[in-house]
Amino acid sequence: MSRYRGPRFKKIHRLGALPGLTNKKPRTGNDLRNQTYSGKKSQYRIRLEEKQKLRFHYGLTERQLVKYVRIAGKAKGSTGQVLLQLLEMRLDNILFRLGMASTIPAARQLVNHRHILVNGRIVDIPSYRCKPRDIITAKDEQKSRALIQKYLDSSPREELPTHLILQTFQYKGLVNQIIDSKWIGLKINELLVVEYYSRQT
């Protein structure tokens, strides 16, 4: 199953706010309409919607998400928490959380077009897993810096997660630790996602 490229508002209308997919917010009327169906939702549908929320927010294909769930299942600790940490430490998501891109698809485009360096080297793989002490910078070219400056100027100044440091004037971000679960950028019940996949096998 390929990455979703359809209308983004359709997804946030059904699943609620997905800041990684689009910075638009569902209208309050839409939220109320969704609540009228909440009594009829099956357990399967509730788990499916949580899984879809995760998939569309982080811009993953179904195959990628299954792979992350498997990796998280083999790691020590809560599978759901490890899964969210793996997704949050992706390069495209880190750029989005730093404010260097307005959405995760925009961050993915920056990486694909070779505008981003990690520790002084060009990385063109959006799923690259960042580690503590990684330094993320714009390529030292006017076009790359202009693109990132545009995003920095337009992005709302939200509190930066504690695992990230942004040096705006140098177009530089620093990962100083693995993300703490309270800074996850999406309201989600990750246990339902793990349950969804455990029942598929």
pLDDT at 36 (0 to 100): 41
Higher pLDDT, 30 or 80: 80
Please tell me the predicted confidence (pLDDT) of residue 191: 92
Its CATH architecture, for the domain 8-84+186-200, is: Orthogonal Bundle (1.10)
Structure confidence at residue 9 as a pLDDT band (50, 70, 90): low
Count other C-beta atoms under 10 Å from residue 190's C-beta.
22
Tens of pLDDT, residues 41-57 = 888 999 999 999 999 88
Residue 184 and residue 30: Cα distance in Å, rounded? Answer: 24
Greatest mean pLDDT among 20-24, 39-43, 130-134, 179-183 lies in 130-134
Q: What percent of the chain has pLDDT over 70?
A: 79
pLDDT of residue 124: 96
Side-chain-facing half-sphere of 89: CA atoms under 13 Å? 21
- Asked whether the predicted pLDDT for residue 84 surpasses 50, the reply is yes
Domain ranges of the chain: 8-84+186-200, 90-177
Lowest-confidence range among 28-37, 101-110, 167-176? 28-37
- If one counts every other C-beta atom within 10 angstroms of the C-beta of residue 12, the result is 22
For residues 50-73, average pLDDT = 93
CA atoms within 13 A on the CB side of 30: 13
Fold held by 90-177: 3.10.290
> How many residues belong to the chain?
201
Helical H segments across 28-116, by residue range: 28-37, 43-58, 62-74, 79-88, 91-98, 104-112
Q: What would the pLDDT profile of 175-195 be if each residue is shown by its tens digit? A: 999 888 788 878 888 999 999
pTM of the entire predicted model = 0.84
Average pLDDT over every residue of 16-23: 66
Name the 3-class secondary structure at 53: helix
Supply the mean pLDDT for the chain: 84
Instruction: Average the pLDDT over 127-150 and give the result.
Output: 93
| pLDDT number for residue 5 | 59
Q: How confident is the model at residue 19 (pLDDT cuts 50, 70, 90)?
A: low
Residue 46 in tokens: 């509730």
On the question of pLDDT at 28 being above 60, the answer is: no
